[in-house]
Amino acid sequence: MTEQTHIPVLLSETLDLLNLEANKHVIDGTLGLGGHSLEILKKIGPKGKLMAFDQDERNLEEAKKRLKKYEKQVTFVHDNFEHLAEQAAKHSYEPNAILLDLGLSSPHIDDPERGFSFQKEGPLDMRFDKRQKLTAEMVVNSTSEKDLADIIFHYGDERKSRLIARVIVQARKKSRIQTTTQLAEVIGKALKGKSKIHPATQTFQALRIYVNRELEVLEKVLEQALKLLKKGGRLVVISYHSLEDRIVKNFFRDQTRNCICPKELPICQCNFQKKLYILTRKPIIPDGIEVSHNPRSRSAKLRAAERL
């Protein structure tokens, strides 16, 4: 693994919106290879503290090498960020800023053995955390046709989900679908015609999201992050597809209201008080220069808010 293989997305924008100063305490909920965390540590100085989460043991080990100079300042956590509050309490950690970069790290995409990409043959795995039992191969070969269609439709926004589910079920009756290229070939034969993206793209996205419970976990971590942040603290989230971005957008919006009562109630009865100030009225996206240097950043959307 080399430094050149990892390019943090929207780095300067992220650092600006985190509003970092010396001695601050920060949580990076998605450490990856440590690109954002490295720059955060430079900003918060030798007395600053960082808690960094990653589900992937290999990513964690690589990031530790990258951040070795700062290891006394970092609490590394091999866990899903859905346990953010639990781990923060365990380490008596009160953050001034929290970063969640929801994208795949380069090793996930580039290593065929992880099963995230259909560009090269590999096992249908797609787990971020190898300790987890459920794999994409199990979902593809064991889920009913109806449930499989629902997964592909809801998590992949794939309009031809029923057709795809049907051909997958037909194919697995002949032999178990075990590799990424097998699945991509089955879908490709069913969805013939010209398209800007590979016909299996949205199905692979759906399986990955389902296997790792990504949307459910995102909703949990946003609630926890809000409760953990000190007043004036910043929450920055970088998402990469519309389902994630919609959850973040709606959460930020809901936390800026002074009333969440049903519209039909003439008088407020909820006594809800807004907890966030939105710093990005529209999501920040990479400019053309960044996309040219890092094509994988092209779908990124950054939203940020401040704890009131």
Summarised one tens digit per residue, pLDDT across range 205-250 is 999 999 999 999 999 999 999 999 999 999 999 999 999 999 999 9
Give the pLDDT score at 26: 98
- The C-alpha atoms of residue 142 and residue 209 are separated, in whole angstroms, by 17
Q: What is the pTM of this model?
A: 0.92
Which residue reads 């794999």 in tokens?
135
Q: What is the DSSP string of the chain?
A: --GGG---TTHHHHHHHHT--TT-EEEES--TTSHHHHHHHHHH-TT-EEEEE-S-HHHHHHHHHHTGGGGGGEEEE-S-GGGHHHHHHHTT---SEEEEE-SPPHHHHH-GGG---SSS--BS---SSTT----HHHHHHHS-HHHHHHHHHHHH--TTHHHHHHHHHHHHHHS---BHHHHHHHHHHHS-S--SS-TTHHHHHHHHHHHHTHHHHHHHHHHHHHHHSPTT-EEEEEE-SHHHHHHHHHHHHHTT-S--S-TT-SS--S-----EEES-SS-B---HHHHHH-GGGTT-EEEEEEE-
- The C-alpha atoms of residue 37 and residue 71 are separated, in whole angstroms, by 11
Amino acid at 247: I
Average pLDDT over residues 27-56: 97
We find that the CATH architecture of domain 3-101+215-307 is 3-Layer(aba) Sandwich (3.40)
pLDDT at 61 over 70: yes
Summarised one tens digit per residue, pLDDT across range 238-288 is 999 999 999 999 999 999 988 777 777 878 877 778 999 999 999 999 999
Give the pLDDT score at 1: 38
Indicate the domain borders of the chain: 3-101+215-307, 112-212
Give the pLDDT score at 4: 40
Which residue reads 């199990």 in tokens?
138
- The C-alpha atoms of residue 308 and residue 306 are separated, in whole angstroms, by 6
Query: What separation in angstroms does the CA of 98 have from each of 219, 247, 250, 298?
Result: 15, 17, 18, 23
- Least confident piece of the model among 127-136, 137-146, 166-175, 253-262: 253-262
Give the pLDDT score at 194: 65
Residue 127, token pair as written in the block:
């787990």
- Least confident piece of the model among 5-19, 158-172, 184-198: 184-198
Give the pLDDT score at 192: 78
Give the rounded distance of the alpha carbon of 9 from its chain centre.
Answer: 13
Q: CB under 8 Å to 163, separation ≥6 — which residues?
A: 190, 191
pLDDT at 3 over 80: no
**CB neighbours (10 Å) of residue 38?**
20
Round the average pLDDT of the chain to a whole number and report it.
Answer: 93
**Contact (CB, 8 A) for 198 and 204:** no
- The C-alpha atoms of residue 237 and residue 26 are separated, in whole angstroms, by 14
Summarised one tens digit per residue, pLDDT across range 170-213 is 999 999 999 999 999 999 988 877 677 899 999 999 999 999 99
pLDDT at 166 over 80: yes
Average pLDDT over residues 120-130: 95
CATH fold of 112-212, please? DNA polymerase; domain 1 (1.10.150)
